[in-house]
Structure 1
């Protein structure tokens, strides 16, 4: 059986076409699909925290724990891409290519980015509070300790804290920012590879490797953090100020740079520069 996939140039054109569709998506549909994307990414985060709960205390090497965490987290983007939804981080690439090719407008980009960011947050919070906190899944050991360590590491802005009897230093804002660039560079490449394939297995494999890599390397994803950090808030160890100022703001900016510039602009420049694709707009 032959393999079916798009060339890199054809993927870039497909992204411009998808941007045109996003430009015309109604406000209500963007809200619903953005909520779902937040839920789906949070599902991946919850699964990862449950799978790795207690592994460090049991003596597993840190690298192996990160590999297991990264190995199951891609569930979220698989649901986003295959089931369909509006994920802010992927949209940084889509809408940037749309602007550069004329298939979308600045107004459409602003609408898409703002709505998807806000309602990704709503969806992730829903899973964090209702499905992880109220259900008790992450309020018992060893899962609670794992979830708290992750939340505090991301949100305490360079402060030290105790985790399992050991002193841990949390990320500074600068570290979160630069890790976010690497994160969305890989996330958008995962989307790029998923678009390349015309079959489900190809899409899954294209998504899995880059997402596993960014998670295992410790990069920062704004929408995932909309799930990970609020768990620490609900458990009383992190504040909303720390969540937003120390993490979500620098990580969101870094994610925009990683997706818009290092994937969107570079592949537009390489494959689409000079081409008029404005006729790809959806009427």
Structure 2
């Protein structure tokens, strides 16, 4: 942080080259986490994303447009970020930067992704069941408005099946568009040393993603279980083959190629 004492001004902005170094250092720390800790941090992560999304779906059920309600969603992401939890979609950008910088190995990258995704999935299924069980009294009462919106959203998320291979590729494309933005939450959090500044910089790309309706693999890990339990016309096969798998591929490409490779590459050549 540059301190201009004579002018009495403290500059809190961190240049991109220093951001890359900080992210590479974070990747090295993540590589040292034990398997149980990756699972626990991944497990605890997904429910906070779900909490933010549930607020959005409750607002939509009350008649508020998704483009407006979606701007509330980043509250969940900010919470999990400050709690030091692990979201795979962020690691899709940070771990490649660590690999390019030499702070981690390719094997450590794969290990982090695999266990974090596993923890995210377990946390998503658990939260989805707990939410459905609590709101329907174990299925004794019909799903409320919010659960109906979640079910409708899940049904819309598997309509790629109607377009065959092109639809499957479109799901990848929406995954790329999503995580090009979402993984910036991890990247842009390094652009300032101010707590308020970090919140604002993370909020911007995360809010845009949800308001635009792109596809996020970790969000879908709780949304589909909740929707299926709530009576959505979606099979487990449709969930995985026509959404979860292509969306995960797209999320990896969006974060790793566009942020973890191209953004990092240009700022290692041209120092700010």
Aligned to 1:263: 259
Aligned to 1:112: 112
Asked if 1 retains the 8 angstrom alpha-carbon contact of 2:89 and 2:183, the reply is: yes
Distance in 2 (CA, whole Å) between partners of 1:47 and 1:3 is 35
Distance in 1 (CA, whole Å) between partners of 2:149 and 2:77 is 22
Aligned to 2:152: 149
Using the TM superposition, name which of 246-255 and 264-273 deviates more: 264-273
Q: Deviations over 1:79-117 (max 9, x none)?
A: 221111111000011111111111101111111000111
Identify the match of residue 34 of structure 1 among 42, 46, 59.
Answer: 42
Confirm whether residue 187 of structure 1 aligns to residue 187 of structure 2: no
Aligned to 1:21: 29
Residue correspondence of structure 1 range 111-130 to structure 2 within 5 A? 111-130=111-130
Distance in 1 (CA, whole Å) between partners of 2:53 and 2:124 is 9
Aligned to 1:135: 134
Q: How many residues align?
A: 256
Q: Kindly tell me: are residues 69 and 176 of structure 1, through their superposed partners in 2, closer, same or farther at Cα, counting changes over 3 Å?
A: farther
Distance in 2 (CA, whole Å) between partners of 1:68 and 1:226 is 23
The gaps in structure 1 that reach 5 residues or longer are 161-170, 276-283
Confirm whether residue 172 of structure 1 aligns to residue 167 of structure 2: yes
Asked if 2 retains the 8 angstrom alpha-carbon contact of 1:184 and 1:256, the reply is: yes
TM-superposed CA distance for 1:142, in Å, is 2.3
Distance in 2 (CA, whole Å) between partners of 1:203 and 1:102 is 26
Aligned to 2:216: 221
Q: Deviations over 1:190-246 (max 9, x none)?
A: 221112121221111111111111111121100001122222211232111111111
Asked if 2 retains the 8 angstrom alpha-carbon contact of 1:52 and 1:68, the reply is: no
TM-superposed CA distance for 1:139, in Å, is 5.1
Asked if 1 retains the 8 angstrom alpha-carbon contact of 2:171 and 2:246, the reply is: yes
TM-superposed CA distance for 1:134, in Å, is 0.8
TM-score by length of 2: 0.88
Asked if 2 retains the 8 angstrom alpha-carbon contact of 1:51 and 1:68, the reply is: no
TM-superposed CA distance for 1:269, in Å, is 1.0
Distance in 1 (CA, whole Å) between partners of 2:189 and 2:270 is 25
TM-score by length of 1: 0.84
Confirm whether residue 99 of structure 1 aligns to residue 61 of structure 2: no
Please, what is the CA RMSD of the aligned residues? 2.2
TM-superposed CA distance for 1:73, in Å, is 1.0
